[in-house]
Structure 1
Amino acid sequence: MRGLAAAGLGATLCLLTPLASRAAEPTETYVVQKGDTLYELGRRYFVSDRDYRIVARLNGVRDPRRLQAGAVLKVPTRLLRLRQVEARVAGFKGQVTATVGGRTVPLTRGAMITEGAVIATGANAFLRLDLPDGSQLSIPSQSRIRLGRMQEVEMTGVVRRELEVQRGRLESEVVPLRNQEDSYTVRTPMSVSAVRGTEFGVSYDEAAGRSGTEVIEGLVMVSQGAQSASIPAAQGALSGAAGVNGPLPLPPPPKVPAAGKVQDETTVAFAVEGSETSGSYQVRLATDAGFVDVLEDTTASGPEVGFGALPDGVYFLRLASIDPSGLIGMPATYAFERRLNTLELGQPAASREGNLRRYKFRWKAGGDGQRTYRLQLVRNGEETPVVDEGGLTMQELTVTDLPAGVYHWRVMSRTYARGSYVEKWSSPERFEIGH
């Protein structure tokens, strides 16, 4: 059984100190278990089984065959075997590349990405990576991320993961770390963000020489040089040459008043209500609540967010306001149903056959399902329809000998799909018959 001595900060956060600033050689601590010997530990965990001699001298062990259970050994990190922590491709969309050792590796769902890989996403692209402990990494569009140190110390089980945002943004959902020496660190050229279990995002704007950190849940320590700040949930920080500016309040989640409405028109669009300072939004659309199968990852400005035409189905929308400094606010997630069901009224066509005047009303319907139709024609100033014909199966109806006047007509479709009926009226259209 492996043992680990308690060390470092508390369970809420962990700030890593650069190796160059440490006076002593980096070491790992190991709690001796009953039956352990230095010979056996060396054989199982050391790079060379002869390295037990260095460990014996460092810890004052006289007999490598006799170790006291519960004693703490210090072992130089350089002597220990390390196991690489791999990231699995859970899902991706668009142009995503991974470069390892100067060679571009094609990405497939389920592929394993190792340390040293540089991942780049193009416009409206997205990548989701899963780590063995359940932590998740989301790389939005127009980003470049390097997987730095991704290692587990075999002897102690300590896991250290270090990622670098070279351009764009990285979003992390980190499960609580198992012990005090585990670490999860995200670096940019301007900041270091370190956590022990939280959901947060880190971005880097090379042109502005500034990085941003947004904390959705938990606590993150952000450092720039000798300056650091503890950033709680719903707060963020900006880091630049002048240091760390934070905590700063993040914009609240935007509201979508009609989010539950079935999206049945030709294009899918939502009216969005953001904060007074929000001029744009981070927009993400997926077919699953975990946002693995992402269809859109982009930004939008203005009071409406649209996606064009989408196939029928259930979708998930994640929105977050972007403040003037570039910090992305607290997200809001909405589920909605897409069921195409359109009605487009055509221009009525008039014809004459002898003294009989005919008026053909035509319309088009879009979407799956079996339909019947109902047409109503109302003369201005009257409440009772001149024509109210239901149960129609054709997308047209001819009416004869209408008196001169101004009318309004509309059509209702009754669609049977997915085991239920849906009724929808078109908007009324004006129709005039002269004398």
Structure 2
Amino acid sequence: MKDTSDESAALNTAASAIRRALWRLICRFRRIDVDKHILAFAFVTTAAITPALFADDSTLSDSAGDLRVVVRPGDNLTLIAKRELNSFEAWSEIARFNKLDRPDLLQPGDVIFIPYRLLREHNFATVVFSKGEVFNLHDGEKKALVKGDSIFPGDLVTTGADGFASLAFKGASLVNIQPESEVLLEVLECVNEERSCSVGLSAMSGQLNLNVENDGFEKPVRFIINTPYASAAVRGTKFDFDTLEGNVLGVTDGEVQINIDGESVVVPSGKGTLSGPGRSIQDQFNLLPAPTLSPARRLSPEDYFSWQELDGAENYRAVIAKLATRTEVVRRMSGSDNYIKTSVAPGRYLVQVRGIDSRGLKGFFASQEIRVQAIDENITPPELDIELADEILRIKPIGTGILEVRISESLHTVGEDDVLLNDESYELIAGETFEARVDPTQPLYIIARLIIDDLTVSSYGALYVYAGTER
């Protein structure tokens, strides 16, 4: 077993106790219950937290620094290392630390200690996606972040104007750090699966999107988000947190408890609230619903994907991500337009769109899978024979092959591009006639192209206006 008289171990324990005492003093000032990780009702400022403090004490274990483990029936060091550190290989370091010459002789009820150093090394978040300017300040050294890198307590992650990063935590929780953001990982305690995984973040500036999951933990994963204006305590939920002039919080699943300057309120799914100067978190607002997306699933890099406008939406945010990962964003748009140009390489993608109201609250997502196809400019575009009579639209392709025909009542011009908004898409075989009942009082815009194979199409032919005239 561990020799408690060992001088280096004693020094390590004393240093950890001092760090823990400092942490408790700060938490009392901020009125946070450390042992239960329950956020009390307090005004929280990120100025009270410094990376240096947490760089050396990321795990608040039951002992002062090192983790005390009682051996269970059937345990061995390999199983303990896997359970506590998620690493089979760490068993040998645990054996050396506890001076175990015969680790195979462990008995139920024996007590061993896992050194604080190992706890810190195995308590980290993983970068699962990084794009643009993303940096991490670790132990005073700044480096660019890439997929697969680790983020430890005390690390400060920053993103530039084109930067974006996704951090994965134990328990399957995911934090998406938006452009122009600064986030400090204060506390990460996800070692023992019998306890709740606790994560503390300080959002210095910018925007976060969180999906807090609970896989592999008996108790709910606990997230505490601190900002210059407020704190949010989270258990199993999806929400957005913006540090603008105050905070903008919108919850799309579960609930979030937000606390500021003696006030506390629980924000349920479908609601949002604002905090900061001149605002009250007691005022809650309905989030915008998910927009209705265009049914078009087959697009080319030159096409536009659109959605129906939402009442109350001042802006929209749309992203196109690779379908295989769903987190690797290759295209994004923020603005008042209700469409996005695909402008991506051929392949399969996931489109996500949400509205943003005048308060800055983000609404619910709408998602759709799309297939982007390459354009073969050497193929002659098809022609159509179109007739509209007695509210019946008839379209007959001229020539051979399989065509994709797109029909819309709305046309928008973007530069030199004609954009069909919220169009319907149909596949026709040349020689067959397509019929549909339409509203003759509404204009119709029709275009078509040949489908060469699963990932290749021709360019579009002429744009037709509903009466069969060509423009």
TM-score of the two chains, using structure 1 as the length reference: 0.62
Separation in 2, partners of 1:267, 1:125: 26
SS at the partner of 2:299?
Answer: coil
Q: 343, 360, 381: which is aligned to 1:309?
A: 343
Q: Which one has the largest radius of gyration?
A: 1
Q: 359, 362, 377: which is aligned to 1:325?
A: 359
Q: CA deviation at 1:229?
A: 0.6
The answer to which of 282-291 and 93-102 deviates more is 282-291
The answer to which of 283-292 and 106-115 deviates more is 283-292
- Please say if residues 83 and 154 of structure 1, whose CA atoms lie closer than 8 Å, have aligned partners that are also in contact: no
SS at the partner of 2:317?
Answer: strand
- Please say if residues 381 and 460 of structure 2, whose CA atoms lie closer than 8 Å, have aligned partners that are also in contact: no
Change (3 A) 1:85 1:18: farther
Do residues 416 (structure 1) and 455 (structure 2) align? no
Separation in 2, partners of 1:20, 1:137: 23
Do residues 17 (structure 1) and 56 (structure 2) align? no
From the two aligned structures, give the one with the greater strand fraction: 1
- AA partner of residue 17 (structure 1): A
Q: 88, 113, 117: which is aligned to 2:155?
A: 117
The corresponding residue for 2:433 is none
The corresponding residue for 2:228 is 189
SS at the partner of 1:244?
Answer: coil
The corresponding residue for 1:300 is 335
Q: 225, 249, 259: which is aligned to 1:223?
A: 259
The count of corresponding residues between Structure 1 and Structure 2 is 329
The answer to which of 410-419 and 314-323 deviates more is 410-419
The corresponding residue for 1:278 is 313
- 1:37-52 to structure 2, matched below 5 A, reads none
The corresponding residue for 2:436 is none
Q: CA deviation at 1:418?
A: 2.5
- Please say if residues 259 and 335 of structure 1, whose CA atoms lie closer than 8 Å, have aligned partners that are also in contact: no
Q: CA deviation at 1:307?
A: 2.9
- 1:357-376 to structure 2, matched below 5 A, reads 367-368=375-376, 371=379
Change (3 A) 1:129 1:246: same
Unaligned runs of 5+ in 1: 1-12, 36-43, 50-68, 70-77, 341-366, 379-387, 393-409
The corresponding residue for 1:137 is 175
The corresponding residue for 1:199 is 238
Do residues 338 (structure 1) and 372 (structure 2) align? yes
Separation in 1, partners of 2:334, 2:227: 22
- Please say if residues 330 and 344 of structure 2, whose CA atoms lie closer than 8 Å, have aligned partners that are also in contact: no
Do residues 106 (structure 1) and 144 (structure 2) align? yes
- 1:6-85 to structure 2, matched below 5 A, reads 15-17=38-40, 28=62, 84-85=122-123
Q: 206, 210, 213: which is aligned to 2:249?
A: 213
The corresponding residue for 1:62 is none
Change (3 A) 1:107 1:371: same
The C-alpha deviation readout for 1:319-347, integer Å capped at 9, x for no partner, is 1111111111111112222224xxxxxxx
Q: CA deviation at 1:85?
A: 2.1
The corresponding residue for 1:406 is none
SS at the partner of 2:282?
Answer: strand
SS at the partner of 1:223?
Answer: strand
Identical positions, percent: 20
The C-alpha deviation readout for 1:292-326, integer Å capped at 9, x for no partner, is 21113442113x32236322222211111111111
- Please say if residues 15 and 221 of structure 1, whose CA atoms lie closer than 8 Å, have aligned partners that are also in contact: no
- Please say if residues 41 and 261 of structure 2, whose CA atoms lie closer than 8 Å, have aligned partners that are also in contact: no
The C-alpha deviation readout for 1:132-151, integer Å capped at 9, x for no partner, is 22111111122211111112
The corresponding residue for 1:175 is 213
The corresponding residue for 1:61 is none
- Please say if residues 201 and 224 of structure 2, whose CA atoms lie closer than 8 Å, have aligned partners that are also in contact: yes
Do residues 252 (structure 1) and 286 (structure 2) align? no
- Please say if residues 229 and 247 of structure 1, whose CA atoms lie closer than 8 Å, have aligned partners that are also in contact: no
Separation in 1, partners of 2:131, 2:295: 24
Q: 177, 187, 204: which is aligned to 1:166?
A: 204
TM-score of the two chains, using structure 2 as the length reference: 0.58
Separation in 2, partners of 1:307, 1:427: 18
The C-alpha deviation readout for 1:93-145, integer Å capped at 9, x for no partner, is 22211122332122221111111222122224321111122111111122211
CA RMSD of aligned residues (A): 4.6
- AA partner of residue 287 (structure 2): L
Change (3 A) 1:198 1:262: same
Separation in 2, partners of 1:376, 1:319: 33
Separation in 2, partners of 1:308, 1:389: 29
